[in-house]
Structure 1
Amino acid sequence: MQVKDIMTANPICISDGASLRDAHLLMQSRGVRHLPVIAESDGRYRGVLTHKKMIASVVGMINRYGAGALDRKERFTPIAEVMEVPGQHLGTDEPLTVVVDYFIDNKSGCLPVLDADMRVIGIVTSSDFVKLAKRLLQQQG
């Protein structure tokens, strides 16, 4: 099996010009835990914002500035300050054995799937592997 067999195609992305508040609202409204970040200028992949990283940033703001300042701090915190910068990414033909090893070794929750022009075409998450495990278990009967 390959990445294209389990990836979520055309994932919800966010612009690198967005704020942490924008990302927070987008994650809540769309029910996602990972947002690939794309350049506003050309749509190319810039990084990823995970729910875990966003929550850590929000908790840090509350601890440092108090709950009353959270909304203002989120609005003025650019995504670029909290996103994980480009690291590992996938192509559609990557074998799933390589991907699962990466997830285990790096305790990662997602990897973006990019085309040759560094544009996001999909995402693979740990949830995709759980869905695959369910499907395989059901096939075994």
Structure 2
Amino acid sequence: MQSRNVRHLPVVSESTGEFIGMLTHKKMIATVLTMLNKYGQGALDRKERYTPIAEVMDTQVQKLGLDEPLTIVVQYFIDNKHALGCLPVVDEQNQVLGIVTSSDFVKLCQRLLLQP
């Protein structure tokens, strides 16, 4: 996440490639802080290495289809400002096609505002 400068990663099943959850920077930080408080600095590295993604990822995630209207997406971000901050886009087989983030909408607003 750090090397690619991303805050959200879709998690897919190794066997089927289907979307199963979302790993977020925010959730990872919260998990590390919890470990730090519980186990202390000395054990943090070891605990962090052996914590499976399944324990950190969010599985209750709203998803979008390709034909979802942007008005629905915008309303989701307005209504869920403390949620993940992203929505995965999946096809009929639950395969990840991409993600839409709240930052994408800020960039879209910038482009629209700068148009003559």
Give the alignment's TM-score, normalised by structure 2.
0.93
- Give the RMSD, CA atoms, in angstroms: 1.0
> 1:134, CA displacement in angstroms?
0.5
Cα deviation, residue 43, structure 1: 0.8
The alignment status of 1:122 with 2:77, answered yes or no, reads no
Structure 2, gaps ≥5 residues long: none
- Which residue number in structure 2 is paired with residue 37 of structure 1? 11
The amino acid across from 1:67 in the alignment is: Q
Q: Which has the higher contact order (CA 8 A, sep 6+)?
A: 1
Tell me which of 89, 92, 109 is aligned to 1:113. 89
2:109: which partner in 1?
A: 133
Q: How far off is 1:87 after superposition?
A: 2.5
How many residues are treated as equivalent by the alignment?
A: 114
Structure 1 length-normalised TM: 0.77
**1:119, 1:73 → 2: CA distance?**
31
Residue 81 of structure 1 pairs with residue 55 of structure 2: yes
Which has the larger share of helix?
Answer: 1
- Give the partner amino acid of 1:85: T
Q: CA deviation at 1:71?
A: 1.4
SS in 2 for 1:31: coil
* Structure 1, gaps ≥5 residues long: 1-26
CA distance in 1, matches of 2:102, 2:42: 34
